[in-house]
Structure 1
Amino acid sequence: MTYYKEAQTILTEDASSVFLFDPNRITAMQGDLEGLGLFPAQKYNLEDLRIVE
């Protein structure tokens, strides 16, 4: 775990990745879904996606 934290610190301090833009995108989903996470570079986080009643 220590190595991951160290790597994360190096990456953030050295800015090894810089996203210059996040293209516009349209996302549609059913009305009974919530919690969709959208991130730069076309990444989707489905971890918190859930069905609500």
Structure 2
Amino acid sequence: MNVSTESLNDKLFNKDGDYVSSKAQFIDEYIFFYVENDVIHMQDEDLKAYLEKSVM
């Protein structure tokens, strides 16, 4: 499962909600779930638990 930060997600879209480029769309479609910036730094087991709780 590919996970990234909301700050990356914000950079993939312009202010109108459209992708900034075709590469941005490709990246976004590759990522399964976006988390807050501080969450990405959790220990692996904590991040796994966070994702399980958030996705399921």
TM-score, scaled relative to structure 1: 0.20
Larger radius of gyration: 1
Pick the structure with more helix per residue: 2
TM-score, scaled relative to structure 2: 0.20
